[in-house]
């Protein structure tokens, strides 16, 4: 019986090649698709980073804008009236000198009747800016007042450079010393010897700030080892320290002194961000600010103004 002849071998070869080519095409297409997806994910632009959260608002700052622009010019004849905290007398005077020098023909008038009276003058329209040493209350902010932080007031506890006491003090120990409860250096880790406390007179803004910040609103002691200066001046106070005295000053007044050193509090010097004896000082204005306020606060908060604020007397 004759056998049927099958299809020529060439047909099988062609079919094989077609199938092989189809498989290769399918495989490479899938790989290309996968690779393309991975590549596009890797190269896709990142989602925009979250916006930097705004700085925490100053307590009681009302609707204060976040900042003021430094003025390039201020019209001659511009007058800025500032009233407020005695703790800001030096800051006010330094900014006054800097502002008037930078903008000839302007005048800055400063008065120190206290924070509360400064706010009253501002509300009454008798001043442009109130200098205050505390945050605004909710009631004050509700009356259209706004505040901008202008400086950090740090109270340094100072001793003479040759004082043998080299340890750190705690806030409670500082209060004990200045309230007359601790009168010997040995009680705070130093060698035996009477602690001579050199105090500023009550008219001093720094004296009042010390009572508020360090003594928690309490009063200075009246023990025999506490001497109160007749005049509020930093240089004579520092000279009185000698080997066994202790006093206090705004840190800016003693930072560059060569005859005294600051005593660390809880191991922290006044330069430390979390130094305990500090508070924020503010300039307050009626919101929205007028051109006079914008010009002065723009200068005060500029790098140039901040440098002028720290000028030595």
Is the same domain home to 294 and 252? no
Is the same domain home to 243 and 98? no
Residue 49 is predicted with a pLDDT of 26
Q: Residue 217 corresponds to which tokens in the numbers above?
A: 């609103």
* 224 CB-side CA count, 13 A: 2
In degrees, to the nearest 5, what angle opens at C-alpha 220 toward C-alphas 218 and 225? 155
Is the same domain home to 212 and 129? no
Total domain count for the chain? 2
Is the same domain home to 172 and 190? yes
Residue 167 is predicted with a pLDDT of 97
In a domain, 211, yes or no: yes
In a domain, 72, yes or no: no
Is the same domain home to 109 and 96? yes
CA 115 to chain centre: 20
CB atoms within 10 A of CB 87: 29
Closest by CA to 215, choosing from 170, 262, 178, is 178
Residue 197 is predicted with a pLDDT of 98
Is the same domain home to 221 and 145? no
CA-based Rg of the chain, rounded to a whole angstrom?
A: 35
Is the same domain home to 226 and 141? no
Residue 312 is predicted with a pLDDT of 55
Residue 246 is predicted with a pLDDT of 98
Could you give the CA distance from residue 208 to residue 99 in angstroms, rounded to a whole number?
27
Closest by CA to 82, choosing from 230, 277, 295, is 295
Could you give the CA distance from residue 130 to residue 293 in angstroms, rounded to a whole number?
11
Is the same domain home to 160 and 258? yes
Is the same domain home to 161 and 253? yes
The CATH number of the domain holding residue 128 is 3.40.190.10
In a domain, 296, yes or no: yes
CB atoms within 10 A of CB 247: 25
Q: Are 161 and 260 in contact (CB under 8 A)?
A: yes
Q: Residue 176 corresponds to which tokens in the numbers above?
A: 């004990």
Q: Tell me the pLDDT tens digit for each residue of 232-256.
A: 888 899 999 999 999 998 887 788 8
Unique residue bearing structure tokens 């307050």? 284
Is the same domain home to 250 and 160? yes
- In sequence order, what are the residues at sequence separation of 6 or more whose Cβ sits closer than 8 angstroms to the Cβ of residue 47? none
Q: What is the DSSP letter of 113?
A: S
In a domain, 86, yes or no: yes
Q: Tell me the pLDDT tens digit for each residue of 81-113.
A: 999 987 788 899 999 999 999 999 999 999 988
Is the same domain home to 233 and 204? yes
208: buried, middle or exposed (CB in 10 Å: 19+, 13-18, 0-12)? Answer: middle
In a domain, 216, yes or no: yes
In a domain, 9, yes or no: no
DSSP annotation string for 12-58:
HHHHHHHHHHHHHHHHHHHHHHHHHHHHHHHHSPPPPPPPPPPPPPP
Q: pLDDT 10s digit of each residue in the chain, 313 long?
A: 444 445 555 545 545 555 555 554 444 444 444 333 333 333 333 322 222 222 233 333 334 445 799 999 999 999 999 999 877 888 999 999 999 999 999 999 999 888 889 999 999 999 999 999 888 989 999 999 999 999 888 899 999 999 999 999 999 999 999 999 999 999 999 999 999 999 999 877 788 889 989 999 999 999 999 999 998 888 899 999 999 999 998 887 788 889 999 999 999 999 998 999 998 889 999 999 999 999 999 999 999 998 998 765 4
Range of the domain at 252: 154-262
Q: Are 293 and 125 in contact (CB under 8 A)?
A: no
Is the same domain home to 171 and 144? no
In a domain, 137, yes or no: yes
Residue 45 is predicted with a pLDDT of 32
In a domain, 59, yes or no: no
Closest by CA to 152, choosing from 102, 101, 213, 234, is 213
Does pTM top 0.85 for this prediction?
no
């Amino acid at each position: 019986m004759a056998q049927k002849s099958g299809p020529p071998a060439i047909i099988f070869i062609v079919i094989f090649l077609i199938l092989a080519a189809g498989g290769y095409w399918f495989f490479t297409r899938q790989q290309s698709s996968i690779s393309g997806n991975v590549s596009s994910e890797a190269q896709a632009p990142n989602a925009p980073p979250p916006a930097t959260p705004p700085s925490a608002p100053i307590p009681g700052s009302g609707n204060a804008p976040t900042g003021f622009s430094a003025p390039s010019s201020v019209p001659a004849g511009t007058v800025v009236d500032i009233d407020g905290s005695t703790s800001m007398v030096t800051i006010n005077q330094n900014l006054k000198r800097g502002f008037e020098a930078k903008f000839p023909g302007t005048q800055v008038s400063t008065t120190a009747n206290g924070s509360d009276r400064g706010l009253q003058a501002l509300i009454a329209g008798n001043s442009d800016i109130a200098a205050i040493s505390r945050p605004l209350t909710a009631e004050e902010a509700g009356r259209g007042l706004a505040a901008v932080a202008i400086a950090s007031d740090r109270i340094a506890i100072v001793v003479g450079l040759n004082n043998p006491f080299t340890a750190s003090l705690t806030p409670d120990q500082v209060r004990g010393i200045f309230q007359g409860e601790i009168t010997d250096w040995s009680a705070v880790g130093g060698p035996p010897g009477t602690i001579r406390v050199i105090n500023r007179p009550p008219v001093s803004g720094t004296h009042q700030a010390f009572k508020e910040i360090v003594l928690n609103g309490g009063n200075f002691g009246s023990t025999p080892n506490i001497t109160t200066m007749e005049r509020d001046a930093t240089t004579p106070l520092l000279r009185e320290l000698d080997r066994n005295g202790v006093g206090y000053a705004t840190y800016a007044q003693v930072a560059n002194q060569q005859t005294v050193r600051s005593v660390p509090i809880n191991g922290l010097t006044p330069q430390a961000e979390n130094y305990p004896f500090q508070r924020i000082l503010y300039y307050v204005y009626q919101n929205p600010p007028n051109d006079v306020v914008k010009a002065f606060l723009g200068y005060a908060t500029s790098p140039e103004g901040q440098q002028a604020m720290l000028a030595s007397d």
